[in-house]
Amino acid sequence: MPVIEIAGRQISVNEEGFLTNFDEWDVDVATELAKQIEIPMTEERWKIINFLRDDFKVQGETATSRRVQTVGGVPVKEQFALFPKKPAKKMAYIAGLPKPKGCV
Amino acid sequence: MKKKLVVLGGGTAGTMVVNRLHKKLNNEEWSITIVDQNNRHLYQPGLLLLPFGGYTADEIVKERDDFFPSEVRYIQAEIDQVDPGANQVHLRNAETLDYDQLVIATGTTPRPDQTSGMDDPAIWRKSVFDFYTLEGSIALKRALDKFEGGRLVVHISEMPIKCPVAPLEFTFLADAYFSQRKMREKVEITYVTPLEGAFTKPVCSRQLGWMLTQRDIKLEPDFVIEHIDSERKVMVSMDEREIPFDLLVTVPVNMGADYIARSGLGDDLNYVPVSKETFLSKKYPNIFALGDASDIPASKAGSVAHFAIDLFADNFIEHVNGRVMTHNFDGHTNCFIESGNGKGLLIDFNYKVEPLTGMFPLPVVGPFSLLKESRINHLGKLAFRWIYWNLLLKGRWIPISALMSMAGKNQVPQRKEVEANASH
């Protein structure tokens, strides 16, 4: 697994650049990851990222777009507006989590 | 008093479970009951070929209870609710079943009502079709026979779906079908998916994506449907892209049964959260979910149910005797993919290993080739219907291991080589 420098720290990532260690993430890392994919972090976006982090702690897997809607309370359409084109992937990337499943 | 095993659902998984456990459990100690709402067992792979004239309805439907051992009690009734606290199942016919162990195998169902506009009577099964129900598949056959050209759109609403390769197969078969009718140039085919590419696993996605290009089929990835405008016959995505159609073949949102939600046993798509190795519920130590009804991260497909139940039967015996379950499932999946014109592909993979090229089940001699079109792969798919009715459902031995084997598979080149190739 590659190790890269983000926000002045050594961070483990997979081939696609997703963080592989839940505990290596923090707000600075997230802000930097968001910048890389040209997403300015706002309060609405932080709300989703924090939901994903908290949900992962309990569920042990990344919430799908559907779950962000039903449990997190943000409609899929709004997720598309906040994280254009590939919201599920972009949200997981910034939250330092694996891509959500559903890809089998 | 005998202990009670109750199995909910008499489809591929439920039927295999009662046949296996009937043989393994001591019939003096255990009674087995199976519940289903109707007595119609569908050979589901046949639903894909029926619209193209490959099968007739009576070749792919049989009575469920022909496949249950005579000592197993079969109840035809709708399920109202499971009460996991009381170890009871309430049926719609007002009967209540007590259980010591419960197996949930009620599968997954297409739900056109989950997408706004999809089930509008003005278009549903008139210009918008599903093919994973017998009624949908038969209606689609009529529509294809009458189709004189225009925009054919094949579409997946949301993952996960039953048999994730089926929509691609449908697309390949449609291409071959219109070519045979000498009207391929009159049909514009588009494949629309919420995924990033033709399929999810990289090696497979490249091969299948290339097969779409070869057939002049347009790929529209990352399309998450918001609604269908039934008047204009247009699909609209969450990010406001529009795809017009004359004939839409869609895979609606797939969901587990509603009684699972009513019983508090499901996730947000009514699938039962279970251990992906043993299928034991994460919440209740005497409830298992098998086949499409569970939330395991594997394809919702008969081959997965088959391999899973091979291992489950031994695990179940250990579990009810208070021992640790030792037969862990690896996510083994094995699918024939029809590619049209009498050819097919075969893929074989698990939780960790993506579909690779090579030969199956034996190295070099095969006879089946992995991830490559061949005539024998197609014959394998046709032969499978006999195997399904005569061996698989009844739990008889089939010479394919429940756990995936790397024999005959070509390993993916090291990462650097992949990158070098990708840059060309």
Cis peptide before B367 (omega within 30 of 0): yes
Is B131 part of any domain?
yes
Tokens 């892209």 -> residue: B241
Q: How confident is the model at residue A22 (pLDDT cuts 50, 70, 90)?
A: very high
Testing the interface with A: which of B267, B294, B334, B414 to mutate, by most A Cβ within 10 A? B267
| Tokens coding B181 | 């009718």
Domain end point (choices B202, B230, B254): B254
| Tokens coding B106 | 């009620």
What's the CA gap between B159 and B254, in Å, rounded? 8
CB contact under 8 A, B159 and A102: yes
Is B198 part of any domain?
yes
**Using one digit for the tens of pLDDT, what is the confidence trace for B288-325?**
999 999 999 999 999 999 999 999 999 999 999 999 99
Q: How confident is the model at residue B330 (pLDDT cuts 50, 70, 90)?
A: very high
Q: Is the pLDDT of residue B105 over 90?
A: yes
Q: Are residues B272 and B394 in the same domain?
A: no
Tokens 């208070």 -> residue: B322
- pLDDT value of residue A103: 47
Amino acid at B244: P
Tokens 């997408």 -> residue: B115
CB contact under 8 A, A86 and B269: no
Candidates A64, A71, A104; nearest CB to B164? A104
The torsion region of residue B216 among left (phi > 0), alpha (psi -120 to 50) and beta comes to left
**Using one digit for the tens of pLDDT, what is the confidence trace for B216-274?**
999 999 999 999 999 999 999 999 999 999 999 999 999 999 999 999 999 999 999 99
What's the CA gap between A40 and A35, in Å, rounded? 6
CB contact under 8 A, A104 and B158: no
Is B326 part of any domain?
no
Q: Are residues B399 and B282 in the same domain?
A: no
- pLDDT value of residue B173: 97
CB contact under 8 A, A102 and B160: yes
Q: C-alpha distances in angstroms, B43 versus A32, A96, B132, B140, B413? A: 52, 43, 11, 17, 38
Taking the mean position of all CA atoms in its chain, how far away is CA B315? 23
What average pLDDT does range B32-43 have in this prediction? Answer: 97
CB contact under 8 A, B269 and A66: yes
Pairing mode, strands B225-229 and B234-237: antiparallel
Q: How confident is the model at residue B382 (pLDDT cuts 50, 70, 90)?
A: confident
Cis peptide before B361 (omega within 30 of 0): yes
Q: Are residues B229 and B164 in the same domain?
A: yes
- Residues with Cβ within 8 Å of B271's Cβ and at least 6 positions away in sequence, in order, are B108, B256, B260, B289, B293, B294, B295
What's the CA gap between B285 and B287, in Å, rounded? 6
Q: Are residues B135 and B214 in the same domain?
A: yes
CB contact under 8 A, A86 and B299: no
What domain range includes position B395? 333-422
What average pLDDT does range A14-26 have in this prediction? Answer: 93
Is B327 part of any domain?
no
- pLDDT value of residue B416: 39
Report the number of distinct structural domains present in chain B.
3
Is the CB of residue B68 less than 8 Å from the CB of residue B39?
no
CB contact under 8 A, B268 and A84: no
Output the furthest CA–CA distance in chain B (Å, rounded).
Answer: 71
Q: Is the pLDDT of residue A1 over 80?
A: no
What's the CA gap between B234 and B246, in Å, rounded? 9
Chain A partners within 8 Å of B221 (Cβ): none
Is the CB of residue B136 less than 8 Å from the CB of residue B46?
no
What's the CA gap between B280 and B23, in Å, rounded? 21
Q: Are residues B120 and B232 in the same domain?
A: yes
Chain A partners within 8 Å of B159 (Cβ): 102-104
Is the CB of residue B381 less than 8 Å from the CB of residue B54?
no
CB contact under 8 A, A76 and B297: no
- pLDDT value of residue B401: 85
Candidates A70, A76, A104; nearest CB to B224? A76
What average pLDDT does range B193-222 have in this prediction? Answer: 90
Q: Is the pLDDT of residue A104 over 70?
A: no
What's the CA gap between B48 and B58, in Å, rounded? 15
Beta-carbon count within 10 A of B317 CB:
16
Measured in degrees and rounded to the nearest 5, phi and psi for residue B136 equal -65, -45
Q: Hey, which bits of B140-221 come out as E strands?
A: 150-156, 187-192, 218-220
Residue B278 β-bridge partners: none
- How many Å lie between the alpha carbon of A11 and the closest alpha carbon of chain B? 20
Residue of B103, B105, B101 lying closest to B3 (CA atoms):
B101
Is the CB of residue B107 less than 8 Å from the CB of residue B215?
no
What's the CA gap between B143 and B126, in Å, rounded? 8
Higher pLDDT, B406 or A95: A95
Q: How confident is the model at residue B422 (pLDDT cuts 50, 70, 90)?
A: very low
Residues of chain B with pLDDT > 90, as a percent, come to 78
- pLDDT value of residue B145: 97
Q: Is the pLDDT of residue B418 over 60?
A: no
Amino acid at A94: I
Chain B partners within 8 Å of A84 (Cβ): 239
What average pLDDT does range A48-52 have in this prediction? Answer: 98
Is the CB of residue B351 less than 8 Å from the CB of residue B330?
yes
Q: Are residues B383 and B354 in the same domain?
A: yes
* Residue of chain B minimizing CA distance to A83: B239
Q: Are residues B129 and B88 in the same domain?
A: no
What's the CA gap between A56 and A28, in Å, rounded? 19
Least confident of A47-61, B112-126, B243-257, B350-364: B350-364
**Using one digit for the tens of pLDDT, what is the confidence trace for B121-147?**
999 999 999 999 999 999 999 999 999
Candidates B200, B222, B226; nearest CB to A103? B200
Tokens 């798509």 -> residue: B269
CATH of residue B237's domain is 3.50.50.60
Candidates A15, A85, A89; nearest CB to B239? A85
pTM of the model as a whole:
0.92
Q: Are residues B155 and B247 in the same domain?
A: yes
- How many Å lie between the alpha carbon of A39 and the closest alpha carbon of chain B? 16
Higher pLDDT, B24 or B380: B24
- pLDDT value of residue B413: 57
Identify residues of B whose CB sits under 8 angstroms from chain A CBs.
158-160, 164, 195-196, 200, 222, 224, 226, 238-239, 268-269, 297-299, 415
What's the CA gap between B210 and A29, in Å, rounded? 37
| Tokens coding B390 | 């005569």
Q: Is the pLDDT of residue B201 over 80?
A: no
What's the CA gap between B276 and B319, in Å, rounded? 16
- Domain ranges in chain A are 3-94
- pLDDT value of residue B397: 72
What average pLDDT does range B45-49 have in this prediction? Answer: 95
- pLDDT value of residue B410: 87
Chain B partners within 8 Å of A89 (Cβ): 196
- pLDDT value of residue B415: 43
Residues of chain B with pLDDT > 70, as a percent, come to 97
* Residue of chain A minimizing CA distance to B295: A102
Q: Is the pLDDT of residue B185 over 80?
A: yes
Helix (H, G, I), strand (E, B) or coil at B18: helix
What average pLDDT does range B345-353 have in this prediction? Answer: 90
- pLDDT value of residue A102: 58
Beta-carbon count within 10 A of A14 CB:
12
Enumerate residues 49 to 88 of chain A having a beta carbon within 8 A of any beta carbon in chain B: 64-67, 70-71, 76-77, 79-80, 84-86
Residue of B119, B252, B243, B129 lying closest to B188 (CA atoms):
B243
- How many Å lie between the alpha carbon of B297 and the closest alpha carbon of chain A? 7
Domain end point (choices B211, B238, B254): B254
Q: C-alpha distances in angstroms, B395 versus B193, B308, B320? A: 35, 12, 20
